[in-house]
A = this chain, B = another copy of it.
Amino acid sequence: MSQAPDDELPAPAARPGSATLHHVAGLAGVSIITVSRALREPAKLAPETLARVRQAIADTGYVPNSAAGTLRMARSGFVAALVPNLQASNFAQLSAGLTEVLSAHGYQLLIGEIGYGGGREDDLLRAALGRRPEGLVITGVRHSPAGRVLLRQAGIPIVETWDLADEPIDMRVGASHERIGEAACDHLVQRGRQRLALVSADDERSLRRAARFVRRAAALGLRAPVALTVAAPSTHAQGRAALADVLARAPDIDAVCCSSDLLAMGVLTEARVRGIQVPQQLAVMGGGDAEFAASLSPSLTSIRIDGRETGRQAGQMLVARLEQRPLPQRHVDVGFELMAREST
């Protein structure tokens, strides 16, 4: 009972997990600053002191409270990524690329789901900002005017991805959805298609691609594509229904371009059920290059944007700014790749 030299030490943390430097210091018989150093610059301690402190840390289950660190150092050590919706396409890839770069530079990534619409969106943004992230990645979120002001005033580097906003807040990385729409149209025409249909989800990016697709078709002198819009996030079932709808309006179409692979897969399913040969009678293309696109039968032509690379780029831009390095460019186009396969 007489082992710890406790004068007026705080009682051992009531709730475990709430141990502080004081508890550890008391147990190790040193001052709190020594414990702090044991964690951050162990080389500066005498080996035996270090050992004693480490033992005390283990015994107390001490985990430093980063709220205190953040406050004191004015550095939170994390970057926040805001997504409208986690199932929204391949945010997983983007997050992998982001984590890769950020963790190499000592930053953590915290993900927040911000949801669509409602005033709630700004509340969540405010909450995120309140935790003082050192940088922000915003993915496919459209901001309210109030939100834009918040972001501007935040005074931290911000990267917007996917939705290449016309009025970027700060930095941007993504692909040109205009060019994608054009490329899709060109590909179908190259494959000899003339009577096009378009099935697009109603999110901003898809709509932008769709608009350019239609414009390109007009420029090439084609008949105006039969265009359908479905609610995002798009589904296989919508794809089936869409083909039925398209055929009802224009039985002679020879190609369908879809904004997602799931939609395109629905179109393929419906075509098969109706005995329509793909690609002989009907060309089908998707978007996003999902894993299954390449192994369907017929394999599905799609357009790939490298999510992981997008994440890496975003991470590098943030880190450059955080380390005060000059940024070669504020806007990065990661490009896209048209994966031509059997379905066209």
Chain A residues with CB under 8 Å of chain B are: 15-18, 61, 63-68, 70-71, 74, 76, 85-87, 90-93, 95-96, 99, 103, 108-113, 115, 120, 124, 126-127, 129-132, 149-150, 152-156, 235-237, 240, 262, 265-266, 269, 272-273, 291-292, 294-297
Contact = CB atoms under 8 A, between A and B. Distances in A.
A296 B236 contact: yes
A110 B127 CA distance: 11
Contacts of A265: 292
Most B Cβ at <10 Å: residue of A124, A129, A240, A292: A292
Contact of A17 (B66, B153, B273): B153
Given A17-B129, A71-B71, A292-B235, A149 B61 contact: yes
Contacts of A108: 112, 124, 127
A295 B240 contact: yes
Contacts of A266: 292, 295
A291 B231 CA distance: 14
A70 B66 CA distance: 10
A160 to B, nearest CB: 17
Nearest to A18: B155
A296 B17 CA distance: 50
Contacts of A120: 103
Contacts of A262: 291-292
Nearest to A127: B108
A95 B155 CA distance: 30
Contact of A76 (B67, B93, B126): B67
Contact of A297 (B15, B103, B269, B296): B269
Given A65-B132, A131-B66, A132-B67, A16 B153 contact: yes
A111 B109 CA distance: 9
Given A65-B71, A86-B111, A111-B111, 4 more contacts: A17-B156, A86-B92, A108-B124, A111-B113
B86 A150 contact: no
A235 B294 CA distance: 11
A108 to B, nearest CB: 6
A291 B110 contact: no
Given A113-B95, A155-B18, A292-B262, A130 B64 contact: yes
A327 to B, nearest CB: 17
A238 B289 CA distance: 17
A70 B149 CA distance: 25
A304 B237 CA distance: 18
A295 B237 contact: yes
Given A154-B16, A235-B292, A292-B265, A112 B113 contact: no
Contacts of A99: 113, 115
A265 B85 CA distance: 25
Nearest to A63: B129
Contact of A16 (B65, B111, B155, B240): B155
A68 B74 CA distance: 11
A92 B86 CA distance: 5
11 contacts: A16-B152, A17-B153, A17-B154, A61-B153, A66-B132, A67-B71, A67-B76, A87-B92, A111-B113, A236-B295, A262-B292
B130 A65 contact: yes
